[in-house]
Chains A and B, each alone.
Chain A
């Protein structure tokens, strides 16, 4: 699963995170190629969010190494952060600021050139025109998710980390978001690493799936390969097989 670092957006080697005696992530290694979309799948406590947090630099690994866009994260955090972005329904934006104000602030933080035009593009693309001047607090959960996604695309990232990107969206809006992500990847060559519980989404978006259980990678492969390997017709069933299996 590990390949040469030069053409990789993410290279993780023997990554571990312990809290006292409890090990949340137990020596995982994987890579994500540039332009590739990879899913981290696993039940609650499998280590998905812990892994994403370490990749974002907001959680210090106990050991192991992370390289993003060819640079070691520990030494080059501030060279890497302007080139990546992140969205999660569990991290909010300032509630009393309007959609446009929020996007202006983050455009400033990410040093986006021609921020006005970029914000206008994203607002149109994510169907936020009607709520652009509305405070974030007054938006529905689905609208908030779209604003958060707009924030994550502001800097045209080379690597996008997505934590359940379409959670709380209705099927129509969820489908449009997935189309947007596909288009963005095709246009920009952005690599994506997403944690999701939506297997249809994973099947549609991802080139590769990494299955986590109790902080370890228990299997990986393309959705088609995993379906064939487990003799199942949907990733939901593969997920259940893996997450309910007794550890070896």
Chain B
């Protein structure tokens, strides 16, 4: 019998279902799931102006600091996570071979690093409790007027580096280093006790 092929293992191995029942006074439970995706980091040399121009030309936009913008025909999300640094996030397989064609030009202006299995274990938090739960850990002003859909921030939750992006008013994406993922998962679910919590099937 042939050896089985290498298999991908998600960072969180749990059965979907209700973790905390939703109390009567809750606006709705936190819905949480791990969302697999591809992720590359583009880190420009110097001030990163050349990379910013390259991004405009190649992926269709360059996210300003603190922004998360859809690029590559809406198939990927470009997050500005630090000085001259961007994360490009997409469904699995969508970034294979990125960028297309010769890469010499890019390598002259930036470092391209695959992060698909590293920092970018992604949790999707969904529901009216999502912002409430995040507000228990983040000093960010999560008001929709300030941290609107399309905004992101590189910040921390309980001494764990995270990148938080707001996709929709009630949908957040939290990227965390894989080794911390189980701790973050546990903390998020624990924090949702007053709201109710449901684990949704992992998505890819």
Real complex partners, A and B? Answer: no
